[in-house]
Structures are given as structure tokens and as C-alpha cells.
Amino acid sequence: MFPKNMVLTSKDGYVENPEKNREYFKSLYQLSVDISGKNIDNVNMDVLSMGMTGDYEVAVEEGATYVRVGTGIFGERRYETV
């Protein structure tokens, strides 16, 4: 069972040009449509999690139902060495 599809386009969530991720978002959306069309038992493709603070607008335009915007809300993470 797939609880959701999720794509991360960069390890830190920062993108200089969000448009560069559009192709990845389109591909994942199409994959979810294709899988959904197969009507596989116990597979639900209603959740599509893609996009982060730097590119969520493009992700939503391409079909995201969840986005991760923690940096936009809480600010950059500070990693301190101990």
C-alpha cells in the first residue's frame, strides 16, 4: 500500500530556480495518475507530497496536495557543533 508519493528535489530543500524542478513534479504527478488508473487493490494515490519552501508554488501548480514549508515558517536551521 502506498500511503503517499513524495519527491525531494534537493537534500536541503533550497533551490535557486524553482522552475528547474517543474519537470520532476510533472513526472511524479503523471506517475500517480498512471498508477491510480490501474485500480490496484489497497493502493490509494490521493496524496502527492512534493515541494518545499523554495519551490512549493511550482509543486502546487503541478498537482501537489502536501508541501513542506518549515523553513518558510520557522527560518533556516542552525546546526551547532557540540
Q: How confident is the model at residue 5 (pLDDT cuts 50, 70, 90)?
A: low
Give the domain extent around 9. Answer: 5-74
**82 assigned to some structural domain:** no
Handedness of CA 43, 49, 17, 58 (dihedral sign): positive
**80 assigned to some structural domain:** no
Handedness of CA 64, 68, 73, 76 (dihedral sign): negative
How many domains is the chain built from? 1
- pTM score, whole prediction: 0.80
pLDDT of residue 1: 44
**81 assigned to some structural domain:** no
**54 assigned to some structural domain:** yes
Model confidence pLDDT, tens digit, residues 14-54: 688 999 999 999 999 999 999 999 999 988 888 999 999 99
